[in-house]
Amino acid sequence: MLATTAGIRQAAAYLRSGRLVAFPTETVYGLGADATNPAAVSRVFQAKKRPVGHPLIIHAATTAAAFAVGGGGPRAARLAEQFWPGPLTLVLPLRPDAGIAEAVTGGRHTVALRVPRHPVAAALLREAAMPVAAPSANPHGRLSPTRAQHVRDELGSAVDLVLDGGPADIGVESTVLELGAGQPMLLRAGGISAEELAALIGPLAEPAAHEPARAPGMLRKHYAPNTPLRLNADAPSPDEVYLGFGASRRATCNLSPTGDLEEAARNLFTMLRRLDSARAHRIAVAPIPDHHLGKAINDRLRRAERGAAPSDGPPPAQTVCERPS
């Protein structure tokens, strides 16, 4: 359904009655449910085939509505002032009286909160007037959806309504930052760079590799196409399609011919989907600079590489990206 005023009103009514609504955010499309309704939240896990225990991010219309669910504090307030609405998720102490379904936090005493800035997400959250639990609207482990059609193709009738607000403009998920008693902890690289956050609140810690419980649901394998990936490839071999970055004559698809990391993030999941549909032997990926949004891109590519399963299909179709988005 198109994200008109009437469409948004209907979507809000669906959320209130416990149904699932996919909606655009500035990062990727989310699969939303009333975070205070345990049955609705449980349907999110079923629709995505997401293992229970992986906590969901709660989306709120305003900073005040978000902080009514999770405790603020001066650092959270400063971050919210600078980056909300926007692609930053803060993990904060859960307020026990907020009425959030237990499955949203996986029974934790912390909750992940975000105020998205996409106008359709913002209007929907205002109209629904409730905290909305919304993971990315893709089957668990697969590529995240950056268009309404991706959601329709992959979740089908498991979602009650898809609000179509056009392509997501950032294209990678939100940055997840945990604010506990100690140093702020970067749990997921994303739409706001670690450099931008550090400029405001000082150095960030990152969870050690042996501490997976710290970032629940951050799987080593994730965001995977069916075709295997080969990363940091300067050129493709004959049996590969090539995802380029910067000037390259050989790219089947180019994330950004001018080497712009924002453009690359926006194109990442769409181009991986297109290259996947070429059913090549492998997708070779050009090196991506590892700073700012490049960190989020490289993070997704590494997880996609680990998640990839072998495929044998017809030879590469070199036309998949003739008209890049």
264 alpha-carbon distance from chain centroid: 15
Choose from Mg ion, ligand AMP, none: what does 217 bind? Cβ within 5-8 Å by kind: ligand AMP
* Closest approach of ligand AMP to the CB of residue 213, in Å: 9
The DSSP result for 42-65, as a single string, is HHHHHHHTPPTT---EEE-SSHHH
Helix/strand/coil for 110: strand
The tokens for 166 are 């056009």
CB atoms within 10 A of CB 82: 15
The amino acid occupying position 171 is G
Window contacting Mg ion (CB under 5 A); options: 4-12, 35-43, 130-138, 176-184: 130-138
Nearer to ligand AMP, 201 or 317 (CB): 201
27 binding Mg ion? (CB under 5 A): no
Q: For residue 53, which of 138, 156, 135 has the smallest C-alpha distance?
A: 135
Window contacting Mg ion (CB under 5 A); options: 119-127, 133-141, 271-279, 307-315: 133-141
* Closest approach of ligand AMP to the CB of residue 166, in Å: 20
Helix/strand/coil for 178: strand
* Closest approach of Mg ion to the CB of residue 140, in Å: 8
Q: For residue 46, which of 131, 158, 145, 150 has the smallest C-alpha distance?
A: 158
Nearer to ligand AMP, 135 or 244 (CB): 135
Q: Are 256 and 296 in contact (CB under 8 A)?
A: no
- Residues with Cβ within 8 Å of 196's Cβ and at least 6 positions away in sequence, in order, are 83
Helix/strand/coil for 188: strand
* Closest approach of Mg ion to the CB of residue 137, in Å: 9
Distances in Å between the Cα of 145 and the Cα atoms of 135, 169, 195, 236, 287 are 11, 12, 26, 26, 23
The tokens for 282 are 């492998």
Residues 103-122 that bind Mg ion (CB under 5 A): none
Helix/strand/coil for 30: strand
Binding site for ligand AMP (CB under 6 A): 54-57, 91, 105, 108, 110-112, 135-136, 173, 176, 178, 187-188, 215-218
Q: What are phi and psi of 221, to 5 degrees?
A: -105, 130
Choose from ligand AMP, Mg ion, none: what does 188 bind? Cβ within 5-8 Å by kind: ligand AMP
- Residue from 36, 63, 136, 174 binding Mg ion (CB under 5 A): 136
Choose from Mg ion, ligand AMP, none: what does 299 bind? Cβ within 5-8 Å by kind: none
Size of the site for Mg ion (CB under 5 A): 1
Choose from Mg ion, ligand AMP, none: what does 316 bind? Cβ within 5-8 Å by kind: none
Choose from Mg ion, ligand AMP, none: what does 131 bind? Cβ within 5-8 Å by kind: none
Q: Contact positions toward Mg ion, by CB under 5 A?
A: 136
